[in-house]
Chain A
Amino acid sequence: MKRFLSLALCASLAILSACNKSPESGSSNASGGKKLTIALMPKSKGNAYFISCKAGADEAAKELNVDLLFDGPTDPDPAKQNEIIENWTTLGVDVIAAACENKEGISTALKKARSKGIKVVTYDSDANPDARDFFVNQATPEGIAETLMDEAARLTDSEGEFAIITASLTAANMNEWRKHIEARLAEKYPKMKLVDTKPCDDLKDKAQAEATNLMSAYPNLKLIMAICSPAVPGAAEAVKQAGKTGAVKVIGLGLPSENRKYVHEGVTQSVVLWKTKDLGYLTIHAAADLANGQLKPGAKEYNAGRLGTLKIEGDSIVLGKPFIFNKDNIDQFDF
């Protein structure tokens, strides 16, 4: 019996190894060839935003003929990110490109990778400056927060109550945005009031429930600001069901594809995001050039393939400003 079982186990592992042969055979790993291996980490797997980044990353990888490894924790977890980075370090990839859930948590692992000669790029959200070579900056936290807050003020004539729906109370980058949103609010819009901030656990259904309650608990609510992508359509659906289309405005950070319907119906006024595909493309492009020596610390400009020449500020490569999608332009974008 025992022997049968171990045989069965070995057989299943052999099958696994057979399945594995195809991606492995093309890699430079065993042969020591010249092809670069770039490891790209999202904050979490199964997140539409990062899948859209990956589409651009795939494009760049194909163009530059590099191997792309795409992996990350299944749920946003700094400890797991840290662990995967360290595993990649042991594995011996050439460049690591990471979107950091949490600055401190990941920086120790990234520093260790750098000390082993691995180049490190961060994108989407930064690590500590000494833990990476470059940061591919699609928008600073201040930039995102100010764009959102200014947009909110524009839609409400700079007065009235609004509420925020976030992914979780501990999500590091959203907390950063909230900090800057509140700073901007205090500084420029004294007549506006942030009445409540609710977490939605990154679930659309929960965001919908929270928005429903918020609107009735705060009858003077003018606007809901959803700063994680599933919350934008969730909040919009709640507003629509409450029959408050237009009376309670919805803005947020999210993908055009998930919000197109609500933007056309006038429930959601505007969605803020950058061109996620370009972000992925630029990240891989910069990572490859960093490893090839074509991108050096101290450079002032960077020629990023189809994106043309981009400015480098300090050690961050600037992709451009966040983009506001609204009724007029949303159909031009397919992600």
Chain B
Amino acid sequence: MAASGNTNQRRHAIGEFLFRHETILLLVLVAEWFYFNSVGRRFGTLDNTFEIMRHSAEIGLLALVMTPIILTGGIDLSVGSLLGLCAILFGKLWRDVGMSLPVAAVCTLLIGALAGGLNAVLIARLRLPALIVTLGTYSLFRGLAEAITRGVDTFTNFPDSFLALGQQHFAGLPTQVWFFLVVTIAIWLLVHRTTFGRSLRAIGFSPEGARYAGLPVERRIAQAYILAGVVSALAAIIYTARLGQAKADAGTGYELFAITAVVLGGTSIFGGIGTVHGTLFGVAAIAVLDNGLVHARQPREMAGMLTGVLLLAALGAGALPKLLAKLRAPRHSSAPPS
């Protein structure tokens, strides 16, 4: 990993920024925890901590997988809709086609990959802007889910062995948390310990530069979107198990929560900068806030407002020192103002 002094220095500077951002976020998380613990009698219990994890698994998965995409400078607005589409297709494969649940699950993951592949082709091969492509598929996937079920058809009565995935505990933790942990570790390793991850950053900083450096830019971008499709499908299966039903409105609006968590976690929306653990902190900060406000008996609207404030505060905190330094600079130096 060692490089010349110059790039080392740059990496050091970037690392420091990230470190600072994540420290702030961690402080926020701790402060949230202590505050809610002092207000809500049962907030700090282990049970409640598990509940928080259980409820944030799906959005957490979407946020994790959004991180590599945003690292390339892209965005994926279709993940929430894809979750809905995969959920009802999973139900349909099981109930109407008559597949066994594991087979249906595998097929659902494949469908997720295929849907992600559609985004990938349009964005990577045709070089269309990710924002508009995924805005189109956001509408397309949700629309397909509604058309297939006519909005009405709801898949229920899943066997208990399957529902256990979303509602029971396994080896001390809620079952889906294990899935979440595995995906977290896999994506962390992928982004931070492989050349794949490094090429994503390179693309995020400068796609042209990455191309000249010999990186397979198109393929890397495509892989990031396909990965998002697969993990959205996994989130759909977990969602279905947690609620015990699959319906066309599953996951409405989740894309915004996921994006919020990623940028709150310090990933630059312009690409190139960001970490998976930052995203994890982002997800946690929002989930704890969401849960804690119920224990503090605050209305739901407050959760939305405070998430917005948190977002501004976390980003502003990173920008403030630079701004202050800039304001201070002309006073101390005699250099003429530019």
Q: Which residues of A contact B (CB under 8 A)?
A: 1-2, 5-6, 9-10, 13, 16-17, 20, 23-24, 27, 29-30, 45-46, 69-75, 77-79, 82-84, 86-88, 90-92, 102, 104-105, 107-108, 168-170, 172, 175, 179
Contact = CB atoms under 8 A, between A and B. Distances in A.
Interface string B290-312: 11001111111100100000000
Contacts of B156: 104
Given A79-B243, A104-B156, A175-B151, A91 B294 contact: yes
B10 interface: no
**Minimum-distance CB pairs A-B, first 7:** A169-B151, A104-B245, A170-B249, A87-B294, A104-B156, A13-B35, A105-B243
B243 A82 contact: yes
Contact of A90 (B48, B249, B253): B48
Contacts of B317: 5
Interface residues of B, number: 53
A77 B252 contact: yes
Given A2-B20, A91-B295, A169-B248, A108 B243 contact: yes
Contacts of A27: 297
A75 B252 contact: yes
A71 B31 contact: no
A36 to B, nearest CB: 15
Interface stretch (B36-44, B220-228, B264-272): B36-44
Contacts of A168: 151, 249
A71 B299 contact: yes
Contacts of B20: 2
Contacts of B167: 108
Contacts, number: 124
A104 B244 contact: yes
B208 interface: no
Given A9-B313, A86-B51, A175-B151, 12 more contacts: A5-B24, A9-B28, A13-B35, A75-B252, A75-B253, A78-B245, A79-B243, A90-B48, A108-B167, A169-B146, A169-B152, A179-B152
A84 B291 CA distance: 8
Contacts of A13: 31-32, 35
A170 B294 contact: no
Given A168-B151, A175-B152, A17 B24 contact: no
B28 A45 contact: no
B244 A108 contact: yes
Interface of B: 20, 23-24, 27-28, 31-32, 35, 38-42, 45, 47-48, 51, 55, 146, 150-152, 154, 156, 163, 167, 239, 242-245, 247-253, 290-291, 294-301, 304, 313, 317, 320-321
B286 to A, nearest CB: 13
A170 B151 contact: yes
Contacts of A86: 51, 55
A9 B146 contact: no
Contact of A92 (B42, B151, B300, B321): B42
Contacts of A29: 41
7 contacts: A2-B27, A13-B35, A74-B304, A86-B51, A87-B294, A168-B249, A172-B154
A131 to B, nearest CB: 11
Contacts of B152: 169-170, 175, 179
B244 A107 contact: yes
B24 A2 contact: yes
A45 B300 contact: yes
A17 B295 CA distance: 12
A116 to B, nearest CB: 10
Contacts of A69: 297
Contacts of B150: 169
Contact of B247 (A78, A88, A92): A78
B41 to A, nearest CB: 6
Contact of B250 (A20, A79, A88, A107): A79
B291 A87 contact: yes
A84 B313 CA distance: 26
Contacts of A102: 154, 245, 247
Contacts of B151: 168-170, 175
A9 B31 contact: yes
A6 B27 contact: yes
B51 A90 contact: yes
Contacts of A90: 42, 45, 47-48, 51, 295
Counting chain B CB atoms within 10 Å of each CB, the highest count among A16, A70, A105 belongs to: A105
Contacts of B146: 169-170
Contacts of B32: 13
A159 B322 CA distance: 73
A315 B71 CA distance: 55
Contacts of B301: 45-46, 74
B88 to A, nearest CB: 10
A16 B35 contact: yes
A30 B294 CA distance: 16
Contacts of B296: 20, 24
B245 A71 contact: no
Nearest to B251: A79
A1 B248 contact: no
